[in-house]
Structure 1
Amino acid sequence: MAYLGMIFFQIVAPILVLLVLGAILQKKFRFNLKALSQLITYCFMPAAVFINLYETSVELSVLGEVALFIVLFMGSQMLLSHLLAKGLGLVKTEAAVFKNSVVLINSGNYGIPVAQMIFAMQPIGVAIQVILVIFQNMTTYTYGLYNLISSTKSGLSIIKDFFKMPIIHALIIGVAMNYWNIGIPQFIRIPIDHVADGFIAVALITLGAQLSQLEIKSMFNKTVFISCFTRLIIGPAIALAIIFLLGLDGVVAQSLLIASAFPTSRNSSSLALEYDVESAIAAQTVLFSTIVSCITVTVVIYLAEILFA
């Protein structure tokens, strides 16, 4: 129990503090959240991704294990959310939001900071989280958009938008420079390090500011609770079964299990709001799952370290 408390206060509580700080600052100063999001997307996150991949060597066998896990885990989440939506008798719009809330995970501005805190001395743990972010972005702008049936984007434009994302460029450049052992001049490396070091704080403060802006127009309903239970409890349980099935262990297993426990992505709410599909329910799910994850993620981190130490 003492160890569980240590995990909460050393890893999860600092994240919660920064989220609350972001919410307070947003209420007082009314930041331009779009500008902050763009700053993270086009500056802080690419720098953090680049540095992590540039300094980390990931064996092809490990990459294959991670890719296989992602396919099995994401596929299971899609199937489970579809069956639950049918079982709950949700109308098409509610079903779309429900499925997105289960499948789309906050791997970016929640997941990467958590991974950086836990695996500070084991960069491969963060590298795996970066790979998960890439897959989550692909899922968001394919599966997520498909669920909401967008009439303004074609499949080709979605692919073009995906390859325009700076995190993709950072991934490719970081891996290439790592592979060919290309050095970075100090006058370039130093500012990149400064930006990468600021990613955790800026990302979490921005997430707190974003969550404080979510409009909650009605009381939480059963769809929200079932979604959160599926995302935060059932998701990690399925991930654990897949990890055992694939025979994974060590940092790889720890990183994948912890990553499976992160809350619903804010993108699920953003997409619902943009396409006017049950945006209130989507916002409630993001907010509620983020709050509850402070407890569930702590427990999963504890289990990951116990099972795969």
Structure 2
Amino acid sequence: MSVFENVMLPVLLIFLSGFIFQRIFNLDIKPLSTVAIYLLLPFLVFQTFYKESIDSNFFYVILTSSLLLLMLILLGIIISKVGKFGRNQLDALLLSIVFPNSGNYGIPIVMFAFGNKGLLYGMPIMVFHNILMGTIGVYIAADNQGGIKTAGKMIFKQPMNYVILPAILLAKYHIEIPSNFMKSINLVGNTTIPVIMLILGMQLAEVHLSQVNWYQVNLAWLLRLVVSPLLAYLLCLLLPIDPIMKMVIITMAAMPSAANTTLYAIQFNAEPQFVSTCTLVSTITSVITLTVILNLLI
């Protein structure tokens, strides 16, 4: 109950607020997603990289996260070939299974389960997931906009990708940003996650359940919440890493679909109804799957 009350319930209430708001006002969601992607996210990404130091643990984070991403993409492609999915369906499936919600959901779970030491490993994972979302995530979402060339260009149009290196360098050389500037950055950055979650709730109000392909949603659920942590466990068996770090990597791999994926799906028209449904279903049911996984790990 503690996990549900402390982590899940606030998340679901924000989703519900966005859902009710959209039912009443029926706004155009795409301009809101544009604001979130091109204005709010860069502040959050800068804030994250400026505050979180990168240490030797980052090597294993990069290795495990990259291998896990590649394996999930490969599985998604194989399944789409067997199931004869269209290009847009494949992109939507990959958005739903490849990127976990390691930030506003994963970090509280890790802190709750493993304490401060777990948090030291969880933060670098969250940081690297931000990099993957801003590059590979954008590439996948924009794939249907005109092929590899266009999708590649979209990565360079994401302002958040241009704040990562400056933030890392400022943090590494202990260059302090004036407090008045930092207050502005923190103020905007701290609004980003709630706004993204509200947009997801609003998008869910647009979903017509009769049009949802529940076979594909269940498939995405299985890959995101069951197969992903299993692959992470197998990877960790092969690496000489700290036992706590292994548990954190597996736990982060068991997180539901990242809310950011809904933003990209809306922005690039990559089956937003499917992606938002996968995000909601995986978020709600992860209370059960994470409880089982944490009981096995601890």
Q: TM-score range by the shorter chain?
A: 0.7 to 0.9
1:162 aligns with 2:155: yes
Q: Among 16, 21, 24, which residue is 1:25 paired with?
A: 21
Deviation digits for residues 247-278 of structure 1 (CA, Å, limit 9, x no counterpart): 4443575156324432273267548846xxxx
User: 1:134–1:86: structure 2 CA closer, same or farther, 3 Å change rule?
Assistant: same
Per the TM alignment, residue 7 of structure 1 is displaced from its structure 2 partner at its CA by 0.9
Q: Would you say the 8 A contact 1:97–1:268 is kept in 2?
A: no
d(CA) in 2 for partners of 1:81 and 1:154? 18
Per the TM alignment, residue 65 of structure 1 is displaced from its structure 2 partner at its CA by 1.0
Q: Among 113, 118, 126, which residue is 2:104 paired with?
A: 113
**How many residues get paired?**
289
Per the TM alignment, residue 167 of structure 1 is displaced from its structure 2 partner at its CA by 1.7
d(CA) in 1 for partners of 2:268 and 2:160? 23
d(CA) in 2 for partners of 1:200 and 1:143? 21
Gapped runs of 5+ residues in structure 2? none
Tell me the TM-score normalized by structure 1.
Answer: 0.78
d(CA) in 2 for partners of 1:202 and 1:215? 23
* Alignment partner, residue 295 of structure 1: 285
Query: What is the DSSP-based 3-state SS (H/G/I as helix, E as strand, rest coil) of the residue aligned with 1:214?
Result: coil
Query: What is the DSSP-based 3-state SS (H/G/I as helix, E as strand, rest coil) of the residue aligned with 1:83?
Result: helix
Question: What pairs up with 1:52-67 in 2 under 5 angstroms?
Answer: 52-59=48-55, 61-67=56-62
* Alignment partner, residue 129 of structure 1: 126
User: 1:115–1:46: structure 2 CA closer, same or farther, 3 Å change rule?
Assistant: farther
d(CA) in 1 for partners of 2:63 and 2:95? 17
Question: What pairs up with 1:185-200 in 2 under 5 angstroms?
Answer: 185-200=178-193
User: 1:133–1:186: structure 2 CA closer, same or farther, 3 Å change rule?
Assistant: closer
Deviation digits for residues 1-48 of structure 1 (CA, Å, limit 9, x no counterpart): xxxx21121112211111111111121223442232233223332222
Q: Would you say the 8 A contact 1:104–1:144 is kept in 2?
A: no
User: 1:154–1:269: structure 2 CA closer, same or farther, 3 Å change rule?
Assistant: closer
d(CA) in 1 for partners of 2:40 and 2:267? 23
Measured on the aligned residues, the alpha-carbon RMSD in Å equals 3.2
Query: What is the DSSP-based 3-state SS (H/G/I as helix, E as strand, rest coil) of the residue aligned with 2:211?
Result: coil
d(CA) in 1 for partners of 2:10 and 2:34? 24
d(CA) in 1 for partners of 2:282 and 2:84? 26
Q: Tell me the percent identity.
A: 19
* Alignment partner, residue 41 of structure 2: 45
* Alignment partner, residue 257 of structure 1: 251
Q: Would you say the 8 A contact 2:37–2:263 is kept in 1?
A: no
Gapped runs of 5+ residues in structure 1? none
User: 1:193–1:164: structure 2 CA closer, same or farther, 3 Å change rule?
Assistant: same
